[in-house]
A and B are shown apart, each in its own frame.
Chain A
Amino acid sequence: MCLAIPMKLIKIEGNKGIVALSGVKKEISLDLLKEVEIGDYLIIHAGFAIEKLNEEEAKKTLAIWEEIGTLQKQ
């Protein structure tokens, strides 16, 4: 089952990282990612980070829909 909730990277130790979500912390492997930084939101699958969330894209999608909502109201 895919875990859709991005978790925040709070610590990096070599190829391992610690991610956190609502107080739960988890050790994960960073082997599948090229570059990560503390504070990145990561998509986790079976103990591995498989991708980094692109915050710019996330904001863009939400902004487009907010705009559509506003236009429909007018």
Chain B
Amino acid sequence: MKYITEYRDKNLSGKIAEKINGYLKGYKGKISLMEVCGTHTHSIFRSGIMSLLSDKIEHLSGPGCPVCVTPNKFIDTAIAYSRLPDVIITTFGDMIKVPGSSSSLEKEKANSGKIKIIYSPLESLEIARAHPEQKVVFLGVGFETTAPLVASTILRAKEENFDNFFVLSGHKLIPPAMQSLLESGEIKIDGFICPGHVSAIIGERPYKPIADKYGIPSVIIGFEPIDILEGIEMLIRQIVEKEKSEVENQYKRVVRSEGNQKALFLMNKVFEIKNSDWRGLGLLPNSGLYIKKAYSEFDAEKKISVKVEKTKIHPECICGKVLCGTKKPYDCTLFSKSCTPENPIGPCMVSSEGTCAAYYKFKKQ
């Protein structure tokens, strides 16, 4: 495969790893690198690249799995909508198994059959067109990579005068979550592996406060083993040299310095930034995307009223702490016992991007 095979070269991996380990020969202490992207979590585990590196480097997974950071209240609201007789829910597949306070969309799907898994948000419009008597509610979950697609879908719905398409927006922004982890002081982070495709949309600038204000080196990195190793090399070099902390871009073949301006324009046209509730991190200022007034005809929360049950959280699930990097999955009493990918209790075990799911699949400790 073009532009893939080259980035999986084993000889090259070894050489980059040697270079990284060379930097650390005289270095005292540990270095914690955090990624905030579920695809990085799985790519790092699957490729086994950490085994090539000095044990002075510790890898932490942060709040980079969109399904995982979505709080129970959002899932409970989606479930409540799905129980209305005139509503069809459309959603990406990984939301289905996430347990809410007392049910999940998967269980509701078995009962009502009115929950449809889609690949692209645009499919919601086709479903809305085919069912004019029903209200189609798309579950908008995802970071800056996904929000522009949903914005584009809303704009299409406006152009084509849809009156039965709605979005429940739970979209969130990654840089505020990274800053919140640094502010909390609960965890030592020496460098950030910044998400590849979030960065394809937002570019390099939003990470600048992390490097400038908090002094944490931040490198935008691609998803192949060579990408990740090259990015770690850039991070370790900054950390060891200690000259200055900056934002660097390893994934220049995809991420432009200024990001994707057209996607940002569409995202900002439809959404506005407000405070948002994150599982594990709580209410974070200016970290969520909500539908602007000009497009409120498509805002499920404004247009479809529904009674939502009181939020309950499983008392033993530590997904919230796993998302902050302060606990590891195997610190959880449920992990791989009562909580497995087939029978998940917390969202971190559900999603193909979740940290618990990655540990279960690749580490099993």
Contacts and interface: CB of A to CB of B under 8 A. Distances in A.
Interface in B138-191: 142, 145-146, 148-149, 152, 156
A43 B223 CA distance: 12
Contacts of A61: 230, 250, 252-253
B7 to A, nearest CB: 8
Interface of B: 1-4, 6, 11-12, 15-16, 18-19, 37-39, 42-43, 92, 94, 119-123, 142, 145-146, 148-149, 152, 156, 195-197, 200-201, 222-224, 226, 230, 250, 252-256, 260-263, 266, 352-353
A50 to B, nearest CB: 6
Contact of B200 (A22, A51, A62, A69): A51
B15 A4 contact: no
A42 B353 CA distance: 22
Interface of A: 1-2, 4-6, 8, 21-22, 29, 31-34, 41, 43, 45-48, 50-51, 53-55, 57-58, 60-62, 65, 68-69, 72
Contact of A22 (B1, B16, B353): B1
B266 A32 contact: yes
A22 B3 CA distance: 13
Nearest to B7: A62
B120 A48 contact: yes
A50 B197 contact: yes
A48 B1 contact: no
Contact of A5 (B1, B226, B261): B1
Nearest to B123: A47
A70 B333 CA distance: 50
Contacts of B200: 43, 50-51
A68 B19 contact: yes
A48 B149 contact: yes
B201 to A, nearest CB: 7
Given A50-B197, A54-B253, A4 B121 contact: no
Report the 9 A-B pairs with minimum CB-CB distance, sorted nearest first: A47-B120, A4-B223, A58-B253, A57-B253, A2-B39, A57-B252, A2-B197, A32-B263, A51-B200
A30 B18 CA distance: 41
Contacts of A58: 3, 253
Given A22-B1, A57-B253, A2 B15 contact: no
B16 A65 contact: yes
A32 B192 CA distance: 27
Contacts of B262: 32-34
Given A4-B224, A58-B253, 14 more contacts: A1-B42, A4-B43, A5-B4, A31-B152, A33-B260, A34-B262, A43-B200, A45-B146, A46-B92, A46-B146, A47-B149, A53-B254, A57-B252, A60-B252
B3 A6 contact: yes
Contacts of A48: 120, 148-149, 152
Given A32-B260, A41-B3, A50-B201, A4 B152 contact: no
B110 to A, nearest CB: 24
